[in-house]
Homo-oligomer: A and B are copies of this chain.
Amino acid sequence: MEEINNIEVVPCTESDYLKPFRVHYNQNGTKKSWDFMRTHDSVSVLIFNTTSHCFVLVKQFRPAVYMCEWEKTKMQPPQSADKTEEGASEAAAAESQEGLSASEGESSSQWPPASAGVTYELCAGLVDKPDLSLEEIARQEVLEECGYDVPASKLKRITSYRSGVGVTGAKQTMFYAEVSDDNCVSAGGGEPREGELIEVVKVPLHEAMTFAYDERIPKTMGVIFSFIWFHNNMSPKYKISTNV
């Protein structure tokens, strides 16, 4: 289990990761503006282990998710005696105007448990190497994050779509990779030097649909969609039934 503490939130005036821009344009003769962020396209991979009949997912602590949960606790009427009583909507409005105001000194009881920021996701990565194909990038992620060495030629393209259409609009391409225990060459876990702390988890096929629709298990839509895609497209091949 992750242990998260000494949390401090500060404004971010300059970032290597978040680059906001504003575009002014005319749409059908009307002047408009829109704030957006530059981001990379990405790939994700549904990995199915044919030896153990399990899906292979990654699980990690996501600060952005955690901060969403933390804000929700702030929107509740304060429980501690040292704050004045406020209605949830008033608190939310005030918080919305003032921005975040956490500091290391605040009581740790205000912070939700680390598990509030942990999500289950498909193995995925950014498309930031122009000389590599999407399949090659996906292959590298499968190796780095999950420890399976599969040739790029064995990756099957599922489909592509746009993510974050309001802010980033990047293109995501999803692949399917069949692996076996024989392809497993390391424990995976990502690149520690890049600060990745990734846990590789297996979801047995016969539990997959229950997992997909259990809202108590925090996950991305990619996990849900790809499990259903597998059920519709791959299960017949294996002549196995999933628990839909």
Contacts and interface: CB of A to CB of B under 8 A. Distances in A.
B2 A22 contact: no
Contacts of A36: 18, 63-64, 67
Given A221-B172, A225-B225, A244-B232, A165 B62 contact: yes
Nearest to A120: B162
A171 B220 CA distance: 9
Interface in A1-52: 2-13, 15-32, 34-39, 41
Contact of A224 (B27, B41, B89, B159): B159
Contact of A27 (B2, B13, B161): B2
Interface residues of A, number: 90
Query: Which secondary structure dominates chain A's binding surface?
Result: mixed
A29 B3 contact: yes
Interface stretch (A134-142, A148-156, A180-188, A211-219): A211-219
A201 interface: no
A160 interface: yes
